């Protein structure tokens, strides 16, 4: 970043052509790079055409002529002062010096001191008209130049420019749309920052379709369809925004649009214009497709925000926009913080699974409603992050479920729970344990087989293990899920439908699932305590589920009143803070010890939580 004084200086003095020329040169990233065969070929050709021992591609830096390619020259650079190449780019025309010694300016130049007498150079000029350097030939004898040779030198210079453009365009232009690439965006932002540091710009990321829509289209219509859509939509935008558009490709199905500071109203019109372009393109595709675009806008200060970070923030805003009605979102730091946390957790969970010492299973007692006896426990994962502290599974499990780590995590959960059951069995404490599994696990072809193997390995009766999964998970994996669940069921492992009443609970579909247990979600259970129609609904549900032969478990039982209401409905099992939250294994053992004692004293005693100090 430039010092504030430098900014002031730039503001006081208008940029000179030379400064811009230097920027153009440096942005090519050619200076001080290694020799390259493609340039050397042209230099060799020049030397052959002129039948001269020395030829070079020379670039004019601030104080030096640097040779990208050279033949017959030892130096890699010479001072710019008194170098004929410098004059070529000033004049932007071919310069021929038949004899250096005859020119006052060059008679005592470094080249002349090294015995050079002849010089001819043609300028290397960019499309924007900046002179970068020369294609030049030199000789140790005075020499004449024919018109044909002059033309050849110009042609060679054009060849060098074509090569420079080719190398520069590589990775900077999107081959499908011809738009500048994300790399170019980064460079342009850096360039603008040099000229206009501190000024506000807006980066608008347009995500033309949801990733799943893109994937689906790719599957059905192939990549050419998407390419043609991108080509058409970017052309549409190009036409609508005209000359001063700065549109770049940002990723798969995404563009980023860079604009100067504009007022609120203009920005709204601009976004409307973008939307119309998208609509117009969509309405003309054949076959018609349904793409939902979302737009994220990030204001940023030139020179203060790293361009890579600008892209990341714009992504974050566009992602957020998916959840808004208008499908438009402005970047906000709070949002970004949540996003960073999500990234961090995702990055760190892998480590946590591998090292194991940050994870443990906590066990929440499950109570038989009729007898008040505890009969089992649900294993719930706990993560103590070394820096962020306790992370709730409700926060990290949904994140993890978007990754391939689900397989590893569930494998760890099952293994840990089964080992714990074996350890408790040894201590004479036999109880049923349920574990939670994710949709993705049902897509693992060997899931059931591995589960059964783990049980055998630790000599655990399959009937004492229960798998909790949601209807949504089973629906998501369809046939695959049913296949795994049937094997699991055949082996004797109990399948429980978790969170019943939160999704699209469909009783007809439920019948296809080999489940023995239905766990009613806390929200449904609480309706039992209300004096309205929702209570009637839950009561009917109890009857129906019982008639269909399910064991019904109520989750989230916090009050004795609710427990009594559940008793009336002949609910089979209850779980909740009324009896205990989930406890680490040692505390769970303590809970069992304390409550067994109570039971010895009073057979009807209802289990209760350990005192807070425990
Ligand atoms: P879930 O399976 O529905 O688990 C019940 C959640 O309710 C647990 O939250 C539990 O601590 C909490 N809870 C229990 N009794 C009460 C109560 O009386 N009142 C209230 N308000 N809450 C109660 P937790 O442990 O934070 O787990 C949240 C969710 O994370 C679980 O919901 C489950 O979907 C998921 N999860 C937890 N452990 C695992 C795991 O090992 N694997 C997978 N795949 N998911 C897990
Ligand atoms: Ca559960
Ligand atoms: Ca649940």
pLDDT the model gives residue 403 = 83
pLDDT at residue 7 is higher than 70: no
pLDDT the model gives residue 164 = 87
pTM, 2 dp: 0.60
Phi first, then psi: give them for residue 128, nearest 5 degrees. -80, 0
Q: Is the dihedral of CA 403, 406, 407, 409 positive or negative?
A: positive
Which ranges constitute the DSSP H helices of 137-181?
Answer: 147-169
pLDDT the model gives residue 613 = 66
pLDDT the model gives residue 261 = 64
Q: Which helix (H) or strand (E) holds 301?
A: strand 294-301
Distance 378 CA to ligand 2 centre (A): 7
- Please, which residues have CB less than 5 A from ligand 2, an ion? 436, 468, 498
365 CB within 6 A, ligand 1: no
Mean pLDDT confidence for 136-165: 94
Q: What percent of the chain has pLDDT over 90?
A: 61
The two tokens of residue 445 are 């072809």
> CA-CA distance, 516 to 525, in Å (whole number)?
19
576 CB within 6 A, ligand 1: yes
User: Strand locations in 479-545, DSSP E?
Assistant: 494-500, 517-520
Phi first, then psi: give them for residue 25, nearest 5 degrees. -65, -50
Residue among 366, 391, 393 whose CB has most ligand 1 atoms within 8 A, to mutate: 393
3-state SS class at 206: strand
* 503-508 LR contacts (CB < 8 Å, sep 24+): 503/470, 503/471, 503/472, 504/471, 504/472, 504/475, 505/471, 506/471, 507/544, 507/548
Distance 380 CA to ligand 1 centre (A): 6
pLDDT the model gives residue 200 = 85
Q: What is the CATH number of domain 30-169?
A: 3.30.450.40
Residue among 397, 411, 574, 607 whose CB has most ligand 1 atoms within 8 A, to mutate: 397
* 38-46 LR contacts (CB < 8 Å, sep 24+): 38/163, 38/167, 39/68, 39/69, 39/160, 39/163, 40/69, 40/71, 42/69, 42/135, 42/156, 42/159, 42/160, 42/163, 43/69, 43/70, 43/71, 44/71, 45/156, 46/135, 46/137, 46/153, 46/156
> CA-CA distance, 299 to 314, in Å (whole number)?
9
The two tokens of residue 472 are 């949504």
Given the structure tokens 């360039």, which residue do they identify?
A: 191
Question: Superfamily for 342-600?
Answer: EAL domain (3.20.20.450)
pLDDT at residue 527 is higher than 70: yes
pLDDT the model gives residue 1 = 35
CB 74 within 8 A of CB 92: no
Task: Give bridge partners of residue 58 from the DSSP assignment.
Answer: 67, 134
More confidently predicted of 291 and 326: 291
Q: Which residue, judged by its Cα, is nearest atom 42 of ligand 1?
A: 436
More confidently predicted of 411 and 357: 411
The two tokens of residue 488 are 């699991």
Q: How many CB atoms lie within 10 A of CB 392?
A: 10
CATH of 182-331, one of 3.40.50.620, 3.40.50.2000, 3.30.70.270, 3.20.20.70: 3.30.70.270
pLDDT at residue 572 is higher than 80: yes
Q: Closest ligand 1 atom to the C-alpha of 575?
A: 15
Mean pLDDT confidence for 297-312: 90
Residue pLDDT, tens place only, 455-488? 999 999 999 999 999 988 888 888 889 999 999 9
Among 12-26, 40-54, 340-354, the range scoring the smallest mean pLDDT is 12-26
pLDDT the model gives residue 322 = 86
3-state SS class at 469: strand
Residue pLDDT, tens place only, 248-290? 999 889 999 988 766 666 677 888 888 999 999 999 988 888 8
More confidently predicted of 523 and 418: 418
Reported as a pLDDT band with limits 50, 70 and 90, residue 183 is confident
397 CB within 6 A, ligand 1: yes
pLDDT at residue 229 is higher than 60: yes
> CA-CA distance, 119 to 84, in Å (whole number)?
8
Reported as a pLDDT band with limits 50, 70 and 90, residue 380 is very high
394 CB within 6 A, ligand 1: yes
pLDDT at residue 150 is higher than 90: yes
Distance 99 CA to ligand 1 centre (A): 89
More confidently predicted of 185 and 510: 185
Domain range list for the chain: 30-169, 182-331, 342-600
Distance 380 CA to ligand 2 centre (A): 8
Mean pLDDT confidence for 383-387: 95
| Order of all β-strands in the sheet with 131-139 | 77-79, 64-71, 54-60, 131-139, 118-125, 95-97
Mean pLDDT, the chain, whole residue set: 89
381 CB within 6 A, ligand 1: yes
More confidently predicted of 473 and 608: 608
Mean pLDDT confidence for 8-19: 53
């Amino acid at each position: 970043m430039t010092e504030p004084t430098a900014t002031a200086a730039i503001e006081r003095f208008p940029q000179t052509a030379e400064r811009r020329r230097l920027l153009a040169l440096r942005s090519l990233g050619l200076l001080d790079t290694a020799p390259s065969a493609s340039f050397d070929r042209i230099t060799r050709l020049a030397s052959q055409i002129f039948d001269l021992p020395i030829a070079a591609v020379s670039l004019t830096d601030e104080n030096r002529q640097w040779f990208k390619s050279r033949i017959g020259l030892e130096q890699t650079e010479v001072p710019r002062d008194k170098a004929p190449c410098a004059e070529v780019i000033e004049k932007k025309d071919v310069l021929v010096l038949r004899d250096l010694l005859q020119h006052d300016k060059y008679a005592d130049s470094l080249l002349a001191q090294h015995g050079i007498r002849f010089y001819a150079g043609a300028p290397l000029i960019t499309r924007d008209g900046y002179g970068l350097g020369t294609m030049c030939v030199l000789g140790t004898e005075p020499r004449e130049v024919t018109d044909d040779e002059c033309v050849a030198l110009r042609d060679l210079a054009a060849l060098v420019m074509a090569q420079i453009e080719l190398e520069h365009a590589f990775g900077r232009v999107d081959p499908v749309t011809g738009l500048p690439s994300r790399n170019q965006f980064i460079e342009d932002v850096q360039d603008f920052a040099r000229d206009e540091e501190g000024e506000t710009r807006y980066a608008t990321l347009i995500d033309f379709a949801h990733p799943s829509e893109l994937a689906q289209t790719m599957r059905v219509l192939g990549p050419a369809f998407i390419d043609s859509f991108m080509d058409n939509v970017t052309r549409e935008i190009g036409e609508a925004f005209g000359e001063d558009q700065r549109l770049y490709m940002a990723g798969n199905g995404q563009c980023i649009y860079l604009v100067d500071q504009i007022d609120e109203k203009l920005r709204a019109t601009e976004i409307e214009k973008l939307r119309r372009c998208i609509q117009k393109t969509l309405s003309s595709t054949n076959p018609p497709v349904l793409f939902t675009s979302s737009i994220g806008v990030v204001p940023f200060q030139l020179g203060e925000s790293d361009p890579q970070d600008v892209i990341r923030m714009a992504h974050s805003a566009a992602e957020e926009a998916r959840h808004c009605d208008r499908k438009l979102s402005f970047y906000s730091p709070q949002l970004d913080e949540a996003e960073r946390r999500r990234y961090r957790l995702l990055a760190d969970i892998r480590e946590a699974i591998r090292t194991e010492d940050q994870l443990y299973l906590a066990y929440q007692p499950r109570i038989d409603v009729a007898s008040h006896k505890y009969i089992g426990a649900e294993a719930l994962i706990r993560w103590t992050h070394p820096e962020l502290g306790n992370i709730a599974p409700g926060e990290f499990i949904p994140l993890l479920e978007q990754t391939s780590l689900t397989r590893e995590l569930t494998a760890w959960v099952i293994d840990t729970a089964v080992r714990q059951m074996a350890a408790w069995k040894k201590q004479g404490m036999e109880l049923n344990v349920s574990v939670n599994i994710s949709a993705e696990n049902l897509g693992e072809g060997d899931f059931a087989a591995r589960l059964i193997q783990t049980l055998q390995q630790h000599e655990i009766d399959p009937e004492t293990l229960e798998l909790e999964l949601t209807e949504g998970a089973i629906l998501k994996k369809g046939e695959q899920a049913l296949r795994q669940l049937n094997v699991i069921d055949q082996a004797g492992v109990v399948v429980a439908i978790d969170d019943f009443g939160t999704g699209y609970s469909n009783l007809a579909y439920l019948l296809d699932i080999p489940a023995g247990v239905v766990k009613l979600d806390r929200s449904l259970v609480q309706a039992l305590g209300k004096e309205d129609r929702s209570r009637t609904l839950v009561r009917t549900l109890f009857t129906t589920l019982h008639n269909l032969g399910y064991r019904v478990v109520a989750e989230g039982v916090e009050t004795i009143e609710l427990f009594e209401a559940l008793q009336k409905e002949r609910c089979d099992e209850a779980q909740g803070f009324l009896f205990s939250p989930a406890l680490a294994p040692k505390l769970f053992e303590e809970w069992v010890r304390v409550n067994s004692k109570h039971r010895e004293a009073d057979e009807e005693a209802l289990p209760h939580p350990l005192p807070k100090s425990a």
